[in-house]
Amino acid sequence: MAERCAVIGIGQTKHTAKRDDVSIPGLVREAAMRALDDAELTWRDIDAVVIGKAPDMFEGVMMPELLLADALGAVGKPMMRVHTAGSVGGSTAIVAAHLVQAGIHQRVLTVAFEKQSESDAMWALSPKYPFQPPLVAGAGGFFAPLIRAYIRRSGAPDDVGMRVAVKDRLNALKNPYAHLHMADISMDSVRASPMLWDPVRYLETCPSSDGACALVLASDEAAKRSPRAPAWVRGTAVRSEPTHFAGRNQVDPRAGRECAADVYKQAGITDPRKQLDAAEIYVPFSWFEPMWLENLGFAADGEGWKMTVEGATALDGDMPVNPSGGVLSTNPIGASGMIRFAEAALQVRGMAGEHQVPGAKLAMGHAYGGASQFFAMWVVGSERP
């Protein structure tokens, strides 16, 4: 039987293009110490550490848990390293939650990070394999055709992506940890920005960030002694499907739908738009907001874009999506999923500051990776289940 699990500490670094004032250990330690401070705990209180990040080649350090054991206070403790592509920040938090839910540990520190300035992610994402034509297109080149397919299938007007780009950047202005703070963002400036991968413009894509995010997850007993409101884990789910096969729906992947159905079932959610107060969804390219709204059951097929156009996903809308500013404003790749999970928890703890959704009680964190094939989701709530 699963034990209860709650988030009692959250820490992030101020995400930015280049943190050349800290080493990789310094970066992760900064986030971890903030999470410990939030929980009013010390390193001694932590039973185990679970870290996650995207490919090791992004920093050029192989299996960095070995390097980071000291900085994360893991010496003498169990330490694990998760890697599930872009969904890794989410799946890392889920592995950590399982350690508590299985009754193995009382308090687990989980940290996800990327220090993109240490190398070139575009290169690391575009290696030349023997006997395969090199793509050398990065993630944007891979996902743009899926977006075009979505636009064709749904008949969405061409400004939906730009609306998401503006909305998320305006939200980011209320989040002190967000990488991009673009006070002058507007539909005109997004439209005027260079087209990178049609239909994705420069200002419709995520930045490259250095950043880390950390959570302290606690058992029921440990959460009772938490100085601040816990965010109770109401459900966790992961799903994976293969990269390519004929007939695979890459625009609306079945793994995403089944992952959402699983996590909603655990959390007792039958109508996500009505029951969830906020959602932090992994949107690295603007158009993925309407695409995921459909995949996650917030909107009927082909109608996700209407929620965006109607303003339903704005901070003051009926279904706020990415009140933090989302991946479009902050993208330390391996940490981006955990930031979604953390921001969902901040909302239900009532600790999201200026980007707080008033009275949020139930929120979702979502991450995806690979060729829209790896999914990790959790639902957190203010009420103890």
Partner 1 sequence: MPRDVAIASFASLVEPRFDGDEVEVLAPVIGEALRAARLERRDVGFTVSGSCDYLGGRPFSFVMALDAVGAWPPIRESHVEMDGAWALYEAWVALQHGDIDVALVYAFGRSTQGNLYEVLSAQLDPYTVAPLGIDARSMAALQARAMLDAKRCTERDMAAVAARSRGGDVEALLAAPYVASPLRAHDCGPAYDAVAAVVLVAGDRAKQCCDRPAWIRGIDHRIEPHALGTRDLARSPSVELAGERAGVRKAPVDVAEIDAPFSHQEILVRSALGLGPTTRVNPSGGSLAAWPYIVSGLLRLGEAARAIHTGKARRAVAHATSGPCLQQNLVCVMEASDG
Residues 6+ apart with CB under 8 A from 373: 240, 241, 242, 243, 253, 255
- DSSP, collapsed to helix, strand or coil, labels residue 329 as helix
Q: What is the phi/psi pair of residue 375, to 5°? A: -130, 140
Instruction: Point out which span in 30-38, 237-245, 348-356, 360-368 binds partner 1 (CB under 8 A).
Output: 237-245
103 part of the interface to partner 1, by CB under 8 A: yes
Among 4, 98, 174, 191, binds partner 1 (CB under 8 A): 98
Instruction: Point out which span in 79-87, 272-280, 323-331, 377-385 binds partner 1 (CB under 8 A).
Output: 79-87
Residues 50-69, interacting with partner 1 (CB under 8 A): 55-57, 59-63, 65-69
Instruction: Point out which span in 80-88, 223-231, 301-309, 356-364 binds partner 1 (CB under 8 A).
Output: 80-88
Among 145, 157, 227, 242, binds partner 1 (CB under 8 A): 242
CA angle 15, 240, 179 (to 5 degrees): 10
Instruction: Point out which span in 124-132, 299-307, 311-319, 357-365 binds partner 1 (CB under 8 A).
Output: 124-132
Q: Please, what is the minimum distance in Å from the beta carbon of residue 373 to partner 1?
A: 8
222 part of the interface to partner 1, by CB under 8 A: no
4 part of the interface to partner 1, by CB under 8 A: no
Paired with 7 in beta bridges are: 217, 231
Q: Please, what is the minimum distance in Å from the beta carbon of residue 254 to partner 1?
A: 6
Whether residue 54 contacts residue 92, with contact meaning beta carbons closer than 8 Å, is answered with no
Q: Please, what is the minimum distance in Å from the beta carbon of residue 245 to partner 1?
A: 7
Residue 307 corresponds to which amino acid? Answer: M
Paired with 111 in beta bridges are: 51, 214
Among 31, 41, 46, 74, binds partner 1 (CB under 8 A): 74
80 part of the interface to partner 1, by CB under 8 A: yes
Secondary structure, 3-state, 147-170 = HHHHHHHHCCCCCHHHHHHHHHHH
Alpha-carbon gap, residue 24 to 44, rounded angstroms? 22
Residue 344 corresponds to which amino acid? Answer: A
136 part of the interface to partner 1, by CB under 8 A: no
Q: Please, what is the minimum distance in Å from the beta carbon of residue 339 to partner 1?
A: 20
**Do you know the residue count of the chain?**
385
Among 78, 145, 268, 359, binds partner 1 (CB under 8 A): 78
| 84 vs 324, beta carbon nearer partner 1 | 84
Interface mask (CB under 8 A) for partner 1, residues 6-35, using x and -?
-----------------xx-----------
Going by C-alpha positions, the residue among 236, 241, 239 that lies closest to residue 265 is: 236
CA dihedral 375→54→38→43, nearest 10 degrees, is 120
311 part of the interface to partner 1, by CB under 8 A: no
366 part of the interface to partner 1, by CB under 8 A: no
CA dihedral 172→175→177→178, nearest 10 degrees, is 0
CA angle 352, 353, 358 (to 5 degrees): 75
Q: Please, what is the minimum distance in Å from the beta carbon of residue 79 to partner 1?
A: 4
Tell me the chain's radius of gyration from C-alpha atoms: 19
295 part of the interface to partner 1, by CB under 8 A: no
Residues of this chain that bind partner 1 (CB under 8 A): 1-3, 23-24, 55-57, 59-63, 65-70, 74-85, 91, 95, 98-99, 101-104, 118, 124-125, 127, 129, 237-243, 245, 253-255, 258-259, 370, 373-374
